[in-house]
Structure 1
Amino acid sequence: MASAGFLYPGYSAEDDYPTLQKLIGSDVTLHLVHTLMREDAHRVDALLDIGGSDVLGEGARELRALGVDSAVWACTSGSFVFGWEGARRQVAEVREAAGVPASSTSFAFVHALRHLGIERVAIAATYPADVARLFAEFLGEGGVEVVAWADRGIVTAAEVGTLPAAEVVDFVAANDHPAAEAVLVPDTALHSAAILPSLEERLGKTVLTANQVSVWEGLRLAGATAPRAGLGALFAAGAPDSEIDARGAVIDG
């Protein structure tokens, strides 16, 4: 049985992972390890600390002890804030410590878009504006055209995790753009697992959320690539094998 491991910072929407496990089924196992969050803040200095080598190394070694087949740093802002090359180094360090193929949520977004053949996106980010802008720049490094992006200005993951489902759907829908082929929702602190079909039904197009793409990436790297229903267009399309790479973004093995 394939197993995917996830390094998740602190506590906010970690219950998305048991929800996703139920929706995916029992043929794969998701393991979640909580990593240290010294300060809960969507602020660049705090995010650099959240994604630091010491923090992720400790968590990755815990995943290694669990015997997972893949490891994903399940934090978008704590990866893209390092920039493209910095995020690649971060993934390489996780892979070395975990001893398995590794990636992060930021790269998972890029790989998901490439797999779906999507080039133009809108971003509905709960972050403050400066952090949301860094995500748009990261996507641009990966060859993705961002036609529009919006922020909600929320500083803490704890607050993001309390947003009601209906409010999340309204926020995402309000920040769609006619030229976008998909809308990206890049915060693993945001609950989204239970509303993936509702989001796509409301917008009439693909919606990719942070916890969704993190799990898709983890399963992809673990070799569990079969299509799955009830998890949005991304999972319905299955996944390529771990050879996929966005300009060397993921360190597969």
Structure 2
Amino acid sequence: MKRIRLGILTPSSNTSLEPLTCGMLQQLPGVSAHFSRFTVTRIALDDGALGQFDDGKILAAARLLADARVDMIGWSGTAAGWLGFDSDRLLRARITEATGIPATSSILALNELLALRGFTRMAIVSPYLEDVQRRIAANYAAAGIGVVAESHLSISENFAFAEVDEATLDAQVAQVARAAPQVVVPYCTNLYSAHFAQRWEKQYGCAVYDTTSTVVWKMLRACGVDTARIEGWGSLMREGA
């Protein structure tokens, strides 16, 4: 059986997505994840914070993954939520142009899943500042998807996102679930939350698409791997079968 190597672009201060991604892949012998970092320490809408997502820095990290001859490159991050979805479409094209390797992102994969299910009522849970959250909701509204409920924690330090505890996440999800969304999205790949998705789905009767999981789902599907083999990480792994 051919070994499959997934290349993951990672914010430098993120400590959640690597263990969570590897946890998902434990059920798939022969599939491994390989990570490359670029500097991201703060999430906000000022020029300094936005400049962290300059394509040049991301492409340098992608070229390092290409040295490992990965089968696909995924940007495990949510910046397109506030930068605009075209930013990830452009980044995907530039990564492939620079490396010759197909690429995707957490947000492109999430949006594909929303379209696949025809979801138009979404709730968002994040650690972000209020203005960042509003920008995300506005971008989805422009795409025809309503954010019917949201919960944010008003944190800007990226490292601190991983310190959000289970009780806080549970309270956020409980809050937004009262609006009866079709899907709840933990919208940050440095939230330690993806492994709670299945529990929340059973508890609230709606889909939960964590952005750390969405990019893994898309990369595996693109590489011909049946993601339904991954159990315990939520319903999204059964989508597209």
Q: Normalising by structure 2, what TM-score?
A: 0.88
CA displacement 1:135-159 (0-9 Å, x = unmatched): 2223234432222223221111211
Note if 1:196 corresponds to 2:200: no
Partner of 1:30: 33
| Corresponding residue number in structure 2 for 1:173 | 174
Structure 1 segments unaligned to the other structure (5+ residues): 241-253
- 1:231 is aligned, of 197, 211, 233, to 233
Superposition deviation, residue 43 in structure 1: 0.8
Shifted more, 162-171 versus 53-62: the winner is: 162-171
- What is the 5 A alignment of 1:197-212? 197-212=198-213
> Is the alpha carbon distance of 1:57 and 1:193 closer, same or farther for their aligned partners in structure 2, counting shifts above 3 Å?
same
Displacement of 1:119 in angstroms is 2.2
The corresponding residue for 2:118 is 117
- Which letter does structure 1 place at the counterpart of 2:20? D
Distance (whole Å) between structure 1 residues aligned to residue 226 and residue 117 of structure 2 = 14
Query: 2:223 corresponds to which letter in structure 1?
Result: A
Match of 2:62 in 1: 60
Moved over 6 A (4+): none
The 1-side partners of 2:192 and 2:67 are apart by: 28
Q: How many Å apart are 1:17 and its aligned residue?
A: 1.9
Number of aligned positions between the proteins = 235
Given that residues 36 and 61 in structure 2 are in contact (C-alpha distance below 8 angstroms), is that contact kept between their aligned partners in structure 1?
A: yes
Q: Distance in 1 between matches of 2:66 and 2:15?
A: 24
Contact 1:176/1:183 (CA < 8 Å) preserved in 2?
Answer: yes
Aligned equivalents of 2:170, 2:20: Cα separation in 1? 16
Q: Are the equivalent residues in 2 in contact too, given 1:193–1:212 (CA < 8 A)?
A: yes
AA at the equivalent of 1:208: Y
> Shift of the alpha carbon at 1:47?
4.2
1:46 shift after superposition: 4.0
Identity among equivalent positions (%) equals 26
Matched-pair contact (CA < 8 Å) for 2:186–2:193: no
What is the root-mean-square deviation in Å for CA atoms of aligned residues?
A: 1.9
Q: Which amino acid aligns with 2:55?
A: S
Select the residue among 11, 18, 24 that pairs with 1:20: 24
Whether contact under 8 Å (2:71, 2:223) holds in the other structure is yes
The separation in 1 between residues aligned to 2:83 and 2:92, in whole angstroms, is 11
For the residues of structure 2 that align with 1:203 and 1:50, how far apart are their CA atoms? 36
In the alignment, structure 1 residue 136 sits paired with structure 2 residue 140: no
State how far apart, in whole Å, the 2-side matches of 1:115 and 1:139 are: 16
Q: What whole-Å deviation, never above 9, does each CA across 1:45-88 have from its counterpart, x for those lacking one?
A: 34422221121111110111111121111110x22332132332
2:87 aligns with 86
Cα 1:69–1:139 change in 2 (3 A) is: farther
